[in-house]
Amino acid sequence: MPKVTFIDIGEMSYQKAWDYQTELHNEVKEAKLARRHLSEEEKSQLEQKNYLVFCEHPPVYTLGKSGSLDHLLLDEKALLEKDIEFFKINRGGDITFHGRGQIVGYPIFNLDEFFTDVHKYVRFLEEAIIRTLADFGVEAGREEGFTGVWLPATTTLPKRKICAIGVHLSRWVTMHGFAFNVNTDLKYFNYIVPCGINDDDKTVTSLSAEIGKTVDLNEVKICLKRHFSDLFEFEYSK
């Protein structure tokens, strides 16, 4: 089975976390290239590194390479006043928010060790969140035509997005990942068009908003870790 090193870096600024993620991404790519010149016996003695990184960020908006700057509803002055950072980045998708109380996950996987299928990879990220929400008694699923994890509409509530997903691959090594709203302050989504979706029948939510209480982030992380290893069929490095 593939081996994955789990790292929880806690709260870290977006730029610092991006630099760290890039460092790990380069390490995995370089190790992958080095293994190509080894015999099967030598490969068996050299473990391919993979990482699953969890963190939280201070308030920040990130805009994917296919996104529109028009979906940021604050100017530079307002961003400074509200102490929110902004970055254009190389993942797919549009604009999203990262902040405290949100679990941001960065899987840095060599997909050659798992499967080389981008769509399946994104579906597995969604499925890990869906299964975690089920652990907390929340029914979730997918919305046709959109990535991420959604809660179905009710008689009083529209469809609600609870997790955004945006990924980038280089040589089949992944980076970026998911942003799972657990105890997230949802007011920050009022200052953007979240993920570029401006439909009246869709909004954003969090796990705490859905179940009516603050959630222990560590409990959520334990569930996420278990579902990741089950879905991707890997073991955590000790």
Q: Tell me the domain boundaries of the chain.
A: 57-101+114-232
- High-pLDDT (> 90) share of the chain, %: 79
- pLDDT tens-digit readout, 60-113: 999 988 788 999 999 999 999 999 999 998 887 889 999 999 999 999 999 999
* Model pLDDT, residue 35: 77
The pLDDT, as a whole number, for residue 187 is 95
Query: Is residue 198 exposed (0-12), middle (13-18) or buried (19+ Cβ within 10 Å)?
Result: exposed
Between 58 and 39, the higher pLDDT residue: 58
Q: Name the pTM for this structure.
A: 0.93
Average pLDDT over residues 48-54: 94
What's residue 33's pLDDT?
A: 85
Q: Is the pLDDT of residue 46 over 90?
A: no
| Mean pLDDT to the nearest integer, 140-164 | 94
- Please determine, for residue 196, whether its predicted confidence score (pLDDT) is greater than 80: no
Over residues 67-81, the pLDDT tens digits come to 889 999 999 999 999
pLDDT at 231: 98
Task: List beta partners, residue 6.
Answer: 52
Helix, strand, coil fractions of the chain, as percent rounded to 5: 35, 30, 35
Confidence of residue 43 (pLDDT cuts 50, 70, 90): low
DSSP-assigned states of every residue in 154-184: -SS--EEEEEEEEEEEETTEEEEEEEEESS-
Most confident of 41-50, 123-132, 189-198: 123-132
CA dist., res. 193 & res. 146, Å (int): 14
pLDDT digits (tens, 9 = 90+) for 176-193: 999 999 999 999 999 988
pLDDT value of position 151: 97
pLDDT tens digits, 209-223 = 999 999 999 999 999
The residues carrying an active-site annotation are: 195
Fold of 57-101+114-232: BirA Bifunctional Protein; domain 2 (3.30.930)
Q: For 53, how many CA atoms within 13 A lie in the half-sphere containing its CB?
A: 26
- The radius of gyration computed from the CA coordinates of the chain, to the nearest angstrom, equals 18
